[in-house]
Amino acid sequence: MTVLVTGGAGFIGSHLAEAFLEDGREVVVIDPLDPYYDTDIKRRNIDRCRSVGGDRYEFVDGSITDEALVRDLVSSRDVEYVFHQAAQAGVRTSVENPKKPHEINTTGLLNLLLAAEEAGVERFVNASSSSVYGEMEYLPYDEDHQNVPQSPYGVTKLTAEHYCRVWTDVYDVPTVSLRYFTVYGPRMRPNMAITNFTSRCLNGEPPVIYGDGQQTRDFTYVDDIVEANRSLLETDAADGEAMNVGSTGNITIEELAEHIVEETGADVDLEYAEAKEADARHTHADVSKATDLIGYEPTTTIREGVSRFVDWYRENRDWYEPLVLNS
């Protein structure tokens, strides 16, 4: 049984590919190594998966926007499960360049759904995002909360969810959308608060908080995300559904910075800079739907996760930090 992980050279996709390879599955990854951040991070992710999976791992250097390639890949490799992680991620980036996320996150997704339908895949799991909620009415967000995305990225993610639901209802492709809430962990994307704060603290520089630091986030450790996806190989519940996959609780950005200062032992004060408009003020997930439907139970608290990330960063600092600073 072959599992296709799109965007599998990226942060979350490579963790999924590695986990499926560890489970003994055949994994094929499609990723064009988009230079959104230093591609050497992605090359290392591929090398790591290859070392875990050997012949059971195949990397295809290509784009999901190439319809013929996607169709051929899904049918010729006997793909039974698709874990779709490929995207132009980033809220702020999408405000600056809205066409690219549209092409990848929406048109690319459509190519995959058409190919999945043609090949009769068992299940299509779509990586969605808390950005589909946008304007906040109440917290924590449950799936009945309104969807008023505040960025082109959020619009593409919500559109993708609707396509998935329709491909279940109309075309009989079993799909599930998992709404990730800010994911972090080893090999994470550069230019996110946890990476920036950690690299600054380890270099004796103060972490820079945009705004007053009272904005809150639900930071989800990548292992919890892997478990949510993995459970979808074992159950056929939740067809056509979208659900939150968040953490054990949310914290302010200021508290996060304080944890990282503490964990790194840096002798620095926090620094504040002007807020960035596109960012949501608060995110917090109610995960009860995912608990009911797929047994999702996040286990890693932000303190444990930050501590693990800082340990990993120290161990891998020689190669990771220059690539992070270069991105």
Ligand X SMILES: NC(=O)c1ccc[n+]([C@@H]2O[C@H](COP(=O)([O-])OP(=O)(O)OC[C@H]3O[C@@H](n4cnc5c(N)ncnc54)[C@H](O)[C@@H]3O)[C@@H](O)[C@H]2O)c1
Q: Is 153 a catalytic residue?
A: yes
**By the criterion CB under 6 A, which residues form the site for ligand X?**
6-7, 9-13, 30-34, 36, 42, 63-65, 85-89, 104, 108, 127, 129, 180, 182-183, 189
Q: Pick the catalytic residue from 36, 37, 141, 153.
A: 153
Nearest residue (CB) to ligand X, 74 versus 87: 87
Nearest residue (CB) to ligand X, 36 versus 313: 36
Nearest residue (CB) to ligand X, 206 versus 231: 231
In the complex, the smallest distance separating the C-beta of residue 141 from ligand X, rounded to whole angstroms, is 13
Is residue 270 within 8 Å of residue 207, measured between CB atoms?
Answer: yes
In the complex, the smallest distance separating the C-beta of residue 152 from ligand X, rounded to whole angstroms, is 12
CA torsion angle 20 180 157 198 (round to 10): -100
Query: Would you call 40 helix, strand, or coil by DSSP?
Result: helix
In the complex, the smallest distance separating the C-beta of residue 67 from ligand X, rounded to whole angstroms, is 12
Phi, psi of 135 (to 5 degrees): -55, 125
Nearest residue (CB) to ligand X, 82 versus 104: 104
Nearest residue (CB) to ligand X, 44 versus 200: 44
In terms of C-beta density within 10 A (0-12 exposed, 13-18 middle, 19 or more buried), how is residue 289 classed?
A: buried
**Among 29, 26, 83, 89, CA closest to 54:** 26
In the complex, the smallest distance separating the C-beta of residue 14 from ligand X, rounded to whole angstroms, is 8
**Among 283, 273, 277, CA closest to 215:** 283
Phi, psi of 130 (to 5 degrees): -60, -15
In the complex, the smallest distance separating the C-beta of residue 126 from ligand X, rounded to whole angstroms, is 8
Residue nearest to ligand X (CB): 10
Please report the beta strands in 2-157, taking only residues with DSSP state E, as ranges in sequence order: 2-6, 26-30, 57-60, 79-84, 123-129
List residues bridging with 220 in a β-sheet.
183
In the complex, the smallest distance separating the C-beta of residue 168 from ligand X, rounded to whole angstroms, is 19
Nearest residue (CB) to ligand X, 65 versus 316: 65
* Cα-based distances in Å from 48 to 60, 194, 209: 15, 23, 33
Q: Which residues contact 247 (CB under 8 A, 6 or more apart)?
A: 181, 218, 219, 220, 221, 224, 285, 298, 300, 301, 302, 305
Neighbours of 325 (CB within 10 A): 13
Task: Tell me the catalytic residues.
Answer: 153
